[in-house]
Amino acid sequence: MRNKIKELRTKYNLTQEDLAKKVGVRRETIIFLEQGKYNPSLQLAHDVAKTLKTNLDELFIFD
Amino acid sequence: MPKDKLRLLLMVSLSITLLATIAAYGYMSIILNKVNIGSSVVIILPLLVILFMAFFITRKYKDVKRGMPLEDEYSKKVMLKASSVSYYLTLYWLLFIGWFEEPIANLVGLQNLDAGQTTGLGIAGMAVFFFFFWFYYSKKPNLA
């Protein structure tokens, strides 16, 4: 599953640590999320999408 | 996050208690002139556990200081996976200790292992398995 987290995070000038703090997770989780190596829970996916002012369909690309 | 700090403090207290127990055991072994390879193993293995705890606590402390949560869904998954795998392997480890108790005891210069030494060996083995798998799974994404 690919995603646009890095792209949108950069757009809003957020560091991985900033995003991690905003959604209440550790930085490693954001790193793995951006690399598409970790499938988040629905709650975390929702929180990330909300923080990056987008929706789940836009943020995650299901191959 | 006061809850995270409290949990961290609890981990530090546990490590200090374990360290104090080992120190007391070591001191008593010296006083009673019972220092041998067996008692050294009983001291060295928990020390390994404390080393792991120190590494773990330092890492967590730095994160909490930076405003990160002590744990999140990913780290909980890592913990769960490492715990379950180490528990499963410990069953085999305990069987191994049971079957090869005498050769293990001879290896450390004893005739037999007493209940305390056997339990200590079992727990230490579990701790080593846990450390290994925790480290492995924290670096390996795509946890099922």
pLDDT tens track for B54-112:
888 888 888 888 888 888 899 899 999 999 999 999 999 999 999 998 888 888 777 88
- CA–CA separation, B113 vs B141, rounded Å? 40
Chain A touched by B73 (CB under 8 Å): yes
Does A40 contact B73 at a Cβ distance shorter than 8 Å? yes
Q: Which two tokens stand for residue B90?
A: 């410990």
- CA–CA separation, A62 vs B141, rounded Å? 18
Mapped onto helix, strand or coil, the DSSP state of residue A39 is: coil
Q: Which two tokens stand for residue B15?
A: 């490590």
Does B68 contact A29 at a Cβ distance shorter than 8 Å? no
Does B63 contact A26 at a Cβ distance shorter than 8 Å? yes
Confidence of residue B141 (pLDDT cuts 50, 70, 90): low
| Residue B87: predicted pLDDT | 95
Chain B residue numbers touching A44 (CB-CB < 8 A): 73
Which residue from B33, B52, B56 is spatially nearest to B123, judged by alpha carbons?
B52
pLDDT tens per residue across span B64-77 = 888 888 888 998 99
ipTM of the complex: 0.83
Mapped onto helix, strand or coil, the DSSP state of residue A2 is: strand
pTM score, whole prediction: 0.72
Does A32 contact B138 at a Cβ distance shorter than 8 Å? no
- A-contacting residues of B 94-113, CB under 8 Å? none
Chain A residue numbers touching B69 (CB-CB < 8 A): 24-26
